[in-house]
Structures are given as C-alpha cells and as structure tokens.
Structure 1
Amino acid sequence: MGLVRIASLILFVFLGSAYQDENINNVASCDLNITINGGTIALSKGGAVGSILKYICPFGFYPYPASSRTCWANGKWSLMRNPRRRIIRNAECRAFKCPKPSIEQGTFFPNSVSYVAGDSVNFECDDGYKLLGSEGRTCLINGRWNGTTAVCEDGCE
C-alpha cells in the first residue's frame, strides 16, 4: 500500500511540473517591437522565453548601452543600463571615438572635444625638443589611432 502512495505522489509531482513548464513556455514571450536607432536586431528564439536579442550596428559603430538582451520568464526583456547604472530604454548605434591625444613639451592640432574615424591630428614640439613617433595620426574605424605615439624629447643630449 505504501508503494502505491509513493508512486501516486511521484506521478502527481511530475504531471504538475510538466503542466507548469508548458504554461510558462506557452504564455510568456517578449515584445518583438524592439529596435535600435541606426541598426538592426537578431533574435535567437523568436522572442520566446530565453531568447537572446542581439543588436547589430554598421561597421565603425557599436550598440549602446548593451549589445544583447535576454527574454525573461515574465515576458520582459532584460534591462539596459548606462555606465552610471541608470536604466536606458532605447538602444542606439554610436560611432567609435578615438581618445583625445596628449603630448608633453608640445602641441597638437586641431584640438577638438572628440575625434571620430577619419579625423587627423598633427604634432609639433616646443623649441629645443625633437619629435619622436608619428608627426600625424588618423583616428581609425575601431576607435584607435594609427601610427605611433608622438613624444617630444629634449634635443640637448
């Protein structure tokens, strides 16, 4: 008699969990009306629970603030946060930018707030200093400068 009760209990638990799993998969799915400004999206499972939404940007651009999101069991996409941890609602494709150059005992021009792919700078040293490295550098599509770091070295040796 005890064996029959145990078997019945196991069957009840198994059927209950199968019913619950089926309902989660059938009811919950995430909104497919998701976009990224300047790019496209790709979905791994068509918006079903567990789907991965990947943001795709053109060459020279990157998805901000996240490159992907996950469809949660509650039918919502995972949140996107900026570096300050604030929630961002709309993704966008941003251009890679090169860091602002610097040089001691010299100057560079043009001096700009930011540099994007194709922007160039030229370096000059103060009187009495010799330029080592690249005289001019161009910001590449990946957000890095071409050439080698410019340094002004004391000309008196």
Structure 2
Amino acid sequence: MSTTPTLNGQVIGQAHYATRSLLERATGPLGLSFGQVVALNALAAGPVERAQLVHRITSTLKIDEPAVRELIDGLVDADLVQVDGSAPHLRLTDGGRATQTRVADAVAGITARLYRDIPAGEAEVAARVLTVVTQRANAELAGA
C-alpha cells in the first residue's frame, strides 16, 4: 500500500537536491559550480551591477558574501564574465553567453524529462505553494 507523502521541507528538499544533482552532472564538464550556474543565469538578461548580483545570489542561495564574491571572481578568471564601467557592472563575455546557453539547454532537457507528465493545473498549484513557502521562509530569515 502506498501512502501520499506529506508536503514538508524534507520532501521539498529531496526534490531540490535530486534536481540539483542532475544539473550538476550536466554542468560538471563545463567546470561550473552550482553557484556559478546561478550567476550566469542572472547575467543572461544583461549587465548587472556587482552589488546587485552579490545580493541576488546571497539571497537566493543563502550563502555569505565572500563565497559569492569568490564564485564571481572565478567566472571573471575563466573569462565567462567581465567587468564593465566605473560602477562595476558584470556582463557575460561571448564565451559566457555560449556557456550559459549550454546550461539553459541542459536545464530545459532536465525540466522536460522531470515534469513531462505532470498536469498543468497541478504544476501551477505546486508552483504557487512553493512560492508562498519560500516567501514565508525568507520573511522569517529577514526578521531573524
């Protein structure tokens, strides 16, 4: 007899880590950490001021600023990201764009395989629930 799992942090975490492991397996040959993938995706829309990118990644990944600065420096050293202007904006290089496209393609493939037969209505409900849970957790973290 199978039981329906209870929606809780453990179930959400297991889904996150299983999906993240697939992404890391796909991006590992590119020499990217998970945090660097997040940074490349954030820069895909265009240049971002360094402080804004640091804030975005610290708030998304819940890691400290020195760790984020180190992962950004790694992207700059790998010539995937470059610094523009006096108010330092970061942007993807041509190589960074190509790498980010490969990452996006990998994500699209993983998403297609994992979500392929989940009814759209159920996926929408899950997205709304997880968004609320994330907002509440972030509010608690901000209040701590």
TM-score range, shorter chain: under 0.3
Q: Which protein has greater RCO, CA pairs closer than 8 Å, 6+ apart?
A: 2
| Structure exhibiting the larger radius of gyration computed from Cα positions | 1
TM-score (ref. length: structure 1): 0.18
TM-score (ref. length: structure 2): 0.19
| Greater share of helix | 2
